[in-house]
């Protein structure tokens, strides 16, 4: 692994610029990825927040779906926020029938769970592996994780407090091997600690 690993951000749709800015603060080379040859050059990949069905279709249009699946199967570290979490899941509840999954994490995700339940939602969220106190977590039409397989580590759940409503106790951050996923958007807060956790994963891979 070079001193500055190259981490790509899938740049088809969504919060691409925000992730690139956050990664640039973490002493890595951050690059947008739109073509298979760009994917081949990265040491890790971020799948941003956005619209998961649109990203799914664009992955096919840009001929990235199978190359990305292969690299993930070969151990490429990945981080997905919100829509990125949906794409990384093995199974999605309330997804479109034609939606493609990368199946990099053994989990069942409910799409737009926060959109129907509590709309946009923010809370202070303790995240395993992130030091320095809770993360200010921003959920925007976000998914949550319904269930995980045996090999998946749960990193965060929505606090069981009155303001959480129906979201209380729901899983919102997970890790399986070198793949990290959150239902919230750390790229929108200026707090790079979740990105630094992912960078540590890339460096260790």
DSSP string, 91-154: EEET--TT------EEEEEETTHHHHHTSSEEEEE--TT--SS-EEEEESS--EEEEE-TT-EE
User: What number of residues does the chain have?
Assistant: 205
Nearest to 149 by CA among 129, 176, 110: 176
Q: Which of 18, 19, 26, 82 is catalytic?
A: 82
Catalytic residue at 195? no
Whose CA is closest to 201, among 106, 129, 127? 129
Confirm if 104 and 68 have CB atoms less than 8 A apart.
no
Give ∠ CA 52-134-90 in degrees, rounded to 5. Answer: 30
User: Which stretches of 140-205 are assigned E, i.e. beta strand?
Assistant: 144-148, 153-157, 171-176, 179-182
Candidates 19, 185, 192, 195; catalytic one: 185
Catalytic, 82? Answer: yes
Of the residues 19, 187, 192, 195, which is catalytic?
187
Burial class of residue 75 in the structure, from the number of CB atoms within 10 Å of its CB (0-12 exposed, 13-18 middle, 19+ buried): exposed
166 CA to centre of own chain: 22
204 DSSP 8-state letter? H
Active-site residues, by number, are: 82, 185, 187
């Amino acid at each position: 692994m070079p001193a500055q690993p190259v981490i790509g951000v899938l740049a088809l749709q969504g919060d691409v610029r925000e992730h690139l800015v956050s990664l640039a603060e973490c002493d890595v080379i951050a690059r947008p990825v739109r073509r298979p040859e760009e994917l081949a050059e990265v040491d890790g990949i971020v799948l941003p927040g956005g619209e998961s069905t649109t990203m799914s279709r664009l992955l096919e249009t840009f001929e990235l779906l199978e190359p990305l699946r292969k690299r993930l199967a070969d151990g490429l570290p990945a981080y997905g926020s919100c829509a990125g979490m949906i794409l990384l899941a093995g199974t999605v509840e309330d997804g479109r029938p034609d939606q493609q999954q990368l199946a990099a994490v053994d989990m069942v995700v409910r799409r737009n769970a926060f959109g129907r339940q509590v709309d946009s939602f923010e809370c202070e969220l303790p995240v395993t592996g992130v030091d320095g106190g809770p993360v200010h977590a921003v959920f925007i039409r976000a998914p949550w994780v319904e269930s995980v397989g045996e090999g998946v580590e749960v990193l965060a759940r929505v606090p069981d407090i009155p303001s959480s409503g129906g979201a209380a106790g729901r899983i919102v951050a997970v890790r399986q091997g070198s793949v990290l996923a959150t239902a919230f958007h750390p790229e929108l807060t200026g707090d790079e600690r979740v990105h630094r956790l992912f960078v540590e994963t890339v460096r260790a891979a």
